[in-house]
Chain A
Amino acid sequence: MILLGGAACIVLLLGILFGIAGIIIGLFISFSAGCIIIILEKFGFENDFAVAFGFPAAMVMHSSIAYLAGFILGLKGGLILSSLLLIMLILAALFLPTARLKNKEKNPSE
């Protein structure tokens, strides 16, 4: 919920400041960083770290895949491909047990 709230604030602020372009970018970064954040939390990383890491990691991932694929598909095609890969990753991650929960099961005193 906090993540969704944060994403909504970013979309709203960018929308107020930059109109449609801001809203689209706000939604894109919220989706991309959100996926990385959820995946990291599955591996037991703390929220704060996941949030700070999520945006740059998502951008480097998108740009690396879009750049390499772009020679064949064009940058737009590369971006679609990297977004699809991110969706596949998040779907796979959703089936993983959360590492922090696993730790708690092992050590209930935590």
Chain B
Amino acid sequence: MSLYFWTLPFQRNNLPFGDVDSSTHFSIADYMSQTDKPIVELPFYFQNLYYMNANNGKLWYFPQYHTGAALFQIISGNRIVGAYLFFALMSILIIASIFVLIKELFGLWPAAVSAFWLVFSIRDITWYVLGVYPQVASFGMVPLFLYCIYKYVNGFLQGEKNQKFAIMAAIIIVMQLFTHPQAVFISFLAAAIFVIATIIKHRKIPLNFKQAIIPVIIIIVLLVPFLKFFTTETQNIAFEPKEIPSLFSWYGTPEPGIGPDYYSFVMTHGPLLLPLAIIGVILLILRRKNEDLLMLSWLAAFYISTHMSIIGWHRSLRFMEVEAHILVPIAVVGVLRIPSIINMPSQAKNYARMGIIAVLVVAIIIFSAIPAYKFLNGAFQGTQRITQAQLSATEWIKDNTNIQDTIYLMGTSTYAKKKWMRVLSLRQTDFKNDVDTSISPGALNHTYAVFDYSDWIAIYGGLPQELGGLVKDETVYFNQSRLAYSKDNIRVYKIG
């Protein structure tokens, strides 16, 4: 079911979509699959761009995620569907992993309902649709890591030898690191808080340090071939007193770069989650079994990670993705535990629990599934994403120009789409970030100039007045005899 829902944005329309960094994630995979060679440094057409600053021109982090997408492109023989199926399959990991963890901790029904609810988590869907794919996948592995930690700690407290779970936890941490390093922070923090909580509760250290040797060796062995991908980017950490008030705000200090709805709990999760999560947290605190402590530790890790601005680390925007992963199961577990705290016959408790599940599923469909379906089904419609005309033009550029040729792109409607035109062409492509109302002087210093009016004509049925200057400049500066490509209101001129 999750596979069907999350692939909705490219089921009927196979053209690439996404905002933010979607085109760059796509491009790293695409460049490797097009050339059939792995890369250590960013593709040449990113030179002179800010992407080069993050890690001295090298890939920003480990190459596994993008290589995986490249392999899907190669296997499927489809440049777009292959990559997007990889992104979708890796992004829905959280649904399977939350089922595994919650089933182990609280049983089948809480696990099934939590996983069902998370299929429609707008927070996760937003990041996936915008194109921050590696992060979504890596956060999806957190529950698998916590599952291993719980099995190890619980087994240890009961006198069982469970080293295989320590080994598996080490492998999952490496997998997270290979996918996106940020989620490793949540995994370690939640596990550390859980271990401290169990030490306090059981007055016993719930791990054998000798048993940590093999997992540490495994981590080192797996990481060694990829050591050069440890980023050189550093963060200055310093106490920021002005951030103290943010500790009393659920989301800490809002960061720029995303709409205000993102910081609205109800707009993101609907009206259902907050009251149920509060019930869940209260019941977890009251009971405090090991499984309850694990959930509370994960919640504490979420709170800490979204309030790191107090030490100058402003990454709460990304860490907020964890919110649904932790609050949804807490809400479900809490509401399903209500019958067990009311004094009534066990048969009646079972009926009550079944009734709550039925009501909850209906409420999830109304408040989460329907908005999520609309969001996914309507993601990047029409000219909001690359059109067939634009894809054809970029493929012509890719196939008919030399690698050293440079392109100047004008007319494409949005900045995100201009970025997409660059990466689909596999050529160094420059452009102005704003709407092109006239020719840029720098355009004439390139090998080719591209005039793309296709979006505007598709939207308005003709060119808007503000583009009149660009059309005039095209006729003044470009000789029709140098026209190399003209199709669907996109024209490419050879310069010089």
Binding site for B on A (CB under 8 A): 10, 13-14, 17-18, 20-22, 24-25, 28-29, 43-46, 48-49, 51-53, 55-57, 59-60, 62-64, 66-68, 70-71, 74-76, 78-79
Contacts and interface: CB of A to CB of B under 8 A. Distances in A.
B417 to A, nearest CB: 24
Contacts, number: 127
B175 A52 contact: no
B46 to A, nearest CB: 19
A70 to B, nearest CB: 4
Nearest to A69: B38
Interface residues of B, number: 51
Interface string B74-106: 111110011001100110010011011001100
Contact of A21 (B63, B76, B89, B179): B76
B7 interface: yes
B301 interface: no
B75 A10 contact: no
A52 B75 contact: no
Given A52-B144, A63-B64, A67-B63, A24 B96 contact: no
A49 B71 contact: no
Given A22-B76, A64-B178, 9 more contacts: A18-B11, A21-B82, A45-B168, A48-B99, A56-B90, A56-B93, A60-B179, A62-B68, A63-B65
B70 interface: yes
A36 B84 CA distance: 23
A48 B171 contact: no
A8 to B, nearest CB: 14
B4 A17 contact: yes
A13 to B, nearest CB: 6
A57 to B, nearest CB: 7
A24 B76 contact: yes
A55 B89 contact: yes
A51 B171 CA distance: 16
B74 A75 contact: yes
A80 B71 CA distance: 11
Interface of B: 3-4, 7, 11, 32-33, 36-38, 63-65, 67-68, 70-72, 74-78, 81-82, 85-86, 89-90, 93, 96-97, 99-100, 103-104, 137, 140-141, 144, 147, 164, 168, 171-172, 174-175, 178-179, 222, 225-226
User: Chain B's interface: helix, strand, loop or mixed, by majority?
Assistant: helix
A53 B167 CA distance: 13
Given A57-B175, A66-B67, A67-B64, A79 B96 contact: no
A7 to B, nearest CB: 13
Nearest to B64: A63
Given A52-B93, A59-B90, A63-B63, A79 B74 contact: yes
Nearest to B69: A63
A72 to B, nearest CB: 10
Nearest to B72: A25
8 contacts: A25-B72, A49-B100, A59-B64, A59-B68, A63-B65, A63-B67, A64-B226, A66-B67
Which 7 A-B residue pairings sit nearest by Cβ, starting from the closest? A63-B67, A21-B76, A52-B96, A70-B38, A63-B68, A21-B78, A63-B64
Nearest to A23: B76
Contacts of A22: 76, 81, 85
Contacts of A29: 89
